[in-house]
Structure 1
Amino acid sequence: MTSENTGTLYGVGLGPGDPELTTIKAARLVRDADVIAYHSARHGRSIARRIAEPHLSGTAIEEALVYPVTTETTDHPGGYQGAIDAFYTEAAARLAAHLDAGRDVVVLAEGDPLFYGSYMHMHKRLSGRYRTEVVPGVTSISGAAAALGQPLVERDEVLTVLPGTLPRAELARRLADTDSAAVMKLGRTFGNVRGALADAGKLDRTRYVERATMEGQRTGDLADVDAGSVPYFSIALLAGEVAASVPAREAAPVTGAGEVVVVGTGPAGRDWLTPQVAAALAEVDDLVGYGPYLDRVPPNPRQVRHASDNRVEAERAAHALDLAASGRRVAVVSAGDPGVFAMATAVLEVAAQEKYLDVPVRVLPGLSAAQAVSAAVGAPLGHDHAMISLSDRLKPWDVVADRLRAAASGDLAIAIYNPRSKARPWQVGAARDVLLEVRSTDTPVVLGRDVGGAGQRIVVTTLGELDPELVDMRTLVIVGSSTTQVVERGGTPVVFTPRHYGPGGTTTG
């Protein structure tokens, strides 16, 4: 009998591997869970947790249920089965302690929770005592069939699901008696499965899928697969003869409706990517950009990547426009916002040439580094501000210095891009000296490095105390105005520039 004060047990299916195949309901439950539980081998890595990671809140208690054995060799008095049973009993007791305390427990499962999954062992031990809900997931069979683009059954054909652990003779008999089959649990059983398929006369019709929908997915004819390379997360699929009589997939023809879309991926990972840009990236045929920026876009074997050096913007733009003129859909990828010291201007400048005037070009905005750094520390760009690049590769330093003086004299907060490189390590100090001609030494300065990324670092200092050695090419520098304030909140400095400009404000430092 369940109690109103106990938590709820959820068995949540995450699909075969791609986090985007997680259902909306599963993602919500993962995000809101009090406790997240997942199984793993003794190495501690959990595929289920990796699939769920984009949806984790970071605040849930995590219970790693680590198997005590990975082969059928153990010194447990009850043998392998005794060791596993004891493990499941102990794991269920750990989860029951949370449920008794009123905490909701989400047990993660690859694929579907009740289909050859570890969750079912928790379900059998706990569902009679606690409120329980099972959230189905996309199975590995569905993921593998989709990866092959192969229907499995049609009309009245029969699909049989078989474990590869069956004896060879029994497996061959069942394969011979069915129209279509999915054979699970390959890995060490692969040789046995291939022999059974040969015995049943169906080896030449069977396809192989490894790590369906995951990074590293591999497909092919099962007869050609090296038995020594087969992981546990692989499957053999035998399609029915009617279902298999479909034409092979051909590459989509070029429609002639090519275009260039210039996109910004934001300052860091996928959390900063707008849905508009994500949709555009999913639709294109080609990706063009600086190599490290292209690396932020998950690989898609359908798409062609054209990586180049960061100093060939005009050539990169022309390449993208030529591809689009031939009928390709092309994304030119920038970090941050493409219109802020990035590729939008370069593409539009080249696209202004007469031969490209009929090539469609769109620009989709992204979150800029200035926005990210400003938000990370408060709102130093909350009032009038300027954005200035210190790079003198495309304009002389005298112009950079004059613009710094003008922005400082106008009492604008300033976001400084491209502050330093190996070829120009002196410019941060020189820019500081130019600004001090107009601004006071106590003007707030924010240094934001890799905001949103693993190496994020925020430093709040003053113009007089600014140390150029704290700045590198991945750092954005924000110099406040005369009204910019720094307030300590809970031991953390918060920087903001008020929107009002009353009697207390000045126009010079």
Structure 2
Amino acid sequence: MTVRAVQVIAQADVIAYHSARHGRSIARSIAAEHLRADHIEEALIYPVTTESTDHPGGYRGALDEFYGTAAARLAAHLDAGRTVAVISEGDPLFYGSYQHMHKRLAHRYPTEVIPGVTSVSAAAARLGKPLAEADEVLTILPGTLPEEELTARLASTDTAVVMKLGRTFPTVRRALERSGRLPEAHYVERATMSGERTERLADIDAETVPYFSVSVVPSRIADLPPSTGTSTETATATATGTGTGTAGEPSGPGEVVVVGTGPAGPLWLTPESRGALAAAEDLVGYTTYLDRVPLRPGQRRHASDNKVESERAELALDLARRGRRVAVVSGGDPGIFAMATAVLEVACQAPYRAIPVRVLPGVTAANAAAARAGAPLGHDYAVISLSDRLKPWEVIAERLHGAAGADLALALYNPGSRSRTWQVGKARELLLEHRAPDTPVILARDIGGPEESVRTVHLADLDPNQVDMRTLLIVGSSQTQAVRRDDGTEVVWTPRRYPEG
């Protein structure tokens, strides 16, 4: 208890506390030595806790009625001129019962809230482990969330505390396991109180877990050696790793996770991808994409240009063969004109077939651009790269003819660069053989980035000089509509219903 809390209890006429129907209050037991015989005690006893109720308003209705009645009891003392101290374990406004009194009374009577030590801080202190260090993000979660939500949030954060275990423990444990955080998780029961228990969460029997317990996934930085920092390396050629640890003995396979960062920064990252990037010991990727990933102590970065995909994949797999957890960083979705193919191609070769490889999806440029424009890909569509660096133009032209002839909307990747200046013009000529001149074409550039722009032009007016490597083109089908709405914005959409032939 804080000094101020002790002072307030000493000055109070009435001591109020919440409890279940058994009448025992943890808050009262903590403050017991400071209570006087002349204190008026108001035990605010919940009509229900976790059981069902026949209240006409259901569980929520029963609690709302209880909170209203409890507030009225305290208001009667306040109206009589008595000072009321509502005591609450932990902090009154952190998942505390007092907050329901506060919402009903604080606007009517002078109120002081005395902060307390939360179970989060108490648990970290008992474990002797920092909750968060440097730029780490701490997430506090109620175990009552759905399992999928818990899993996503645990995967995406640096450190976490999960409250309200008890009956939720099996769900929380599964979420920790699915998010890959179970090995890091600790269990703390009744921190700083009688019956305190701390263990690895993986070793806990679900049948023994009370409500007053938490799961702690502490700082990763705290476990690093003091001298560990973040190093950046440049990978320019095929890696020549030996597949051994630092002592010359095989250290067992690590893992390669191919992560899509979306078309731009952190807003486009999925929770799963965010968690994989945080957990990696090594990051491998094109410099531009690596720069999107926050620096983390202990991680090593292996940057390269965008023309050494196979070498980059081999480097990642060699690192994993030495027991490292490696994230290959890719823009957009790694499986769409990106790094997943390069990694899997090398991973299927003899030296690397035993290395675990996972591919995590990301928001691809076509989806991001389509969302900015409206819904131009609302019906069937094709995705084609206009780059002839890895396939001949004749193949590209044949595919454009086929997709356009089938009246598919088109998402055209890699339309142009400083060394490729004629492909957009040739594609426009080819598409005009199948599409009306006023077919909507979306020019989406740097989606999600600082220079984002989205424009819609007619196919006949498509100017190749306005297209570069950072631009994605979406060409509508014969059914695609471009409509200017009352607010002045233009939306492009392709109806899901196709006219009958």
Normalization by structure 2: what TM-score?
0.52
Aligned to 1:453: 449
SS of 1:430's equivalent? Answer: helix
Letter in 2 for 1:482: S
User: Aligned to 1:266, what secondary structure does the other structure show?
Assistant: coil
Q: Which of 311, 318, 325 does residue 321 from structure 2 map onto? A: 325
- 1:382-415 CA-to-partner distances (Å, cap 9, x unmatched) read 1100110111110011111111111100110000
CA–CA distance in structure 1, aligned partners of residues 112 and 393 of structure 2: 67
The residue that corresponds to 2:379 in the other structure is 383
Assess, with a 3 A threshold, how the Cα gap between structure 1 residues 129 and 336 changes in structure 2: closer, same or farther: farther
Match of 1:293 among 285, 289, 297: 289
Pairing 1:428–2:402 present: no
1:275 aligns with 2:271: yes
Q: Which residue, out of 355, 359, 365, partners 2:361?
A: 365
SS at 2:333's partner residue?
coil
Q: 1:411 to 1:357 in 2, by over 3 A?
A: same
- Does residue 1:500 correspond to 2:497, yes or no? yes
CA 361–427 in structure 1, closer or farther in 2 if over 3 Å, else same:
same
Conservation of the 8 A alpha-carbon contact between 1:267 and 1:452 = yes
- Name the structure 2 match of 1:212: none
| Cα distance in 2, alignment partners of residues 412 and 130 from structure 1 | 67
Match in the other structure for 2:408: 412
Q: 1:466 aligns with which of 462, 465, 470?
A: 462
Residue aligning to 1:40: none
Residues 423, 280 of structure 1: alpha-carbon distance in 2 compared, 3 angstrom cutoff = same
Q: Following the alignment from structure 1 to structure 2, what is the Cα–Cα distance between the partners of residues 354 and 501?
A: 48
1:462: Cα distance to partner?
1.1
Describe the shift of the 1:488–1:354 C-alpha distance in structure 2 as closer, same or farther (beyond 3 A).
same
Instruction: Pick closer, same or farther for the CA change 1:502–1:285 going to 2, 3 Å.
Output: same
Q: Which amino acid aligns with 1:272?
A: W
Residue of structure 2 aligned with 1:438, choices 434, 441, 445: 434
Number of residue pairs aligned between Structure 1 and Structure 2: 279
Aligned mates of 2:493, 2:401 — CA distance in 1: 22
Aligned partner of 1:289: which letter? Answer: G
Whether the 8 Å contact between 1:256 and 1:328 is mirrored in structure 2 is no
Cα 1:459–1:327, aligned 2, differ >3 Å: closer, same or farther?
same
Contact map agreement 1:259 1:330 (CA 8 A) in 2:
yes
SS state at 2:301 partner? strand
- Structure 2 CA distance for partners of 1:471 and 1:247, relative to 1, 3 Å: closer
- CA–CA distance in 2 between the matches of 1:477 and 1:259? 36
| Equivalent residue, structure 1, for 2:336 | 340
Shift in CA distance, 297/251, structure 1 to aligned 2, threshold 3 Å: closer
The CA distance in 1 between the partners of 2:380 and 2:131, in whole Å, is: 56
2:394 to 379, 395, 398: 398
Distance 1:314 1:355 in 2: 14
Q: Does the 8 A contact of 2:228 with 2:298 survive in 1?
A: no
- Give % identity: 59
Does the C-alpha gap of structure 1 residues 439 and 305 become closer, same or farther in structure 2, counting only changes over 3 Å?
A: same
User: Offset at 1:359?
Assistant: 0.5
User: Cα distance, 1:129 vs. partner?
Assistant: 11
Contact 2:228–2:297 (CA under 8 A) maintained in structure 1: no
Moved more, 335-344 or 428-437: 428-437
Q: Any idea what SS the aligned residue of 1:464 has?
A: helix
Q: Which amino acid aligns with 1:306?
A: H
How many Å separate the matches in 2 of 1:499 and 1:145?
Answer: 49
Q: Distance in 2 between matches of 1:485 and 1:350?
A: 43
Distance 1:464 1:393 in 2: 26
1:355 counterpart = 2:351? yes
Indicate the residue corresponding to 1:188 in structure 2.
none
**Shift in alpha-carbon separation, 1:258–1:488, aligned structure 2, 3 A:** same
- Letter matched to residue 382 of structure 1: G
CA distance in 2, matches of 1:293, 1:497: 32
Give secondary structure in 2 for the equivalent of 1:376.
helix
Displacement, 1:496? 0.7
**Does structure 2 retain, via aligned residues, the 8 Å contact 1:436–1:463?**
yes
The equivalent residue for 2:310 is 314
Secondary structure, aligned partner of 2:460: coil
Could you list the per-position Cα deviations for residues 142-173 of structure 1 after superposition, in whole angstroms to 9, with x for gaps in the alignment?
A: 9999659xxxxxxxxxxxxxxxxxxxxxxxxx
Measure, in 2, the Cα distance between the counterparts of 1:134 and 1:384: 60
Query: 2:383–2:412: 8 Å Cα contact kept in structure 1?
Result: yes
CA 479–146 in structure 1, closer or farther in 2 if over 3 Å, else same: closer
Q: Secondary structure at 2:474's aligned position in 1?
A: strand
* Residue identity matched to 1:350: V
1:256: Cα distance to partner? 2.8
Letter matched to residue 396 of structure 2: V
CA distance in 2, matches of 1:495, 1:462: 12
Give the superposition deviation at 1:301.
Answer: 2.5
Q: CA deviation at 1:492?
A: 1.0
Equivalent pair of 1:411/1:482 in contact (CA under 8 Å): yes
Letter in 1 for 2:433: E
1:454 to partner: Cα distance: 1.2
CA contact (8 A) 1:449 1:474 kept: yes
RMSD between aligned residues: 3.1
Residues 359 and 486 (structure 1 numbering): CA distance in 2 closer, same or farther, change over 3 Å?
A: same
Q: Equivalent of 1:265, from 261, 264, 288?
A: 261
How far apart, in 2, do the equivalents of 1:423 and 1:456 lie?
23
Q: Distance in 2 between matches of 1:363 and 1:298?
A: 20
Residue 234 of structure 1 corresponds to none
Aligned residue for 2:382, secondary structure, equals strand
Cα 1:488–1:145 change in 2 (3 A) is: closer
1:378/1:131 CA distance change after superposition, 3 Å: farther
User: Structure 1: which 5+ runs fail to align?
Assistant: 1-126, 149-245
Where 2:315 maps in the other structure, the secondary structure is helix
- Which structure 1 residue ranges, 4+ long, deviate > 2 Å from structure 2? 127-139, 142-148, 246-257
> Does the C-alpha gap of structure 1 residues 130 and 336 become closer, same or farther in structure 2, counting only changes over 3 Å?
farther
Q: Displacement of 1:251 after TM fit?
A: 7.2
Q: Deviations over 1:7-41 (max 9, x none)?
A: xxxxxxxxxxxxxxxxxxxxxxxxxxxxxxxxxxx
Match of 1:208 in 2: none
TM-superposed CA distance for 1:269, in Å, is: 1.3
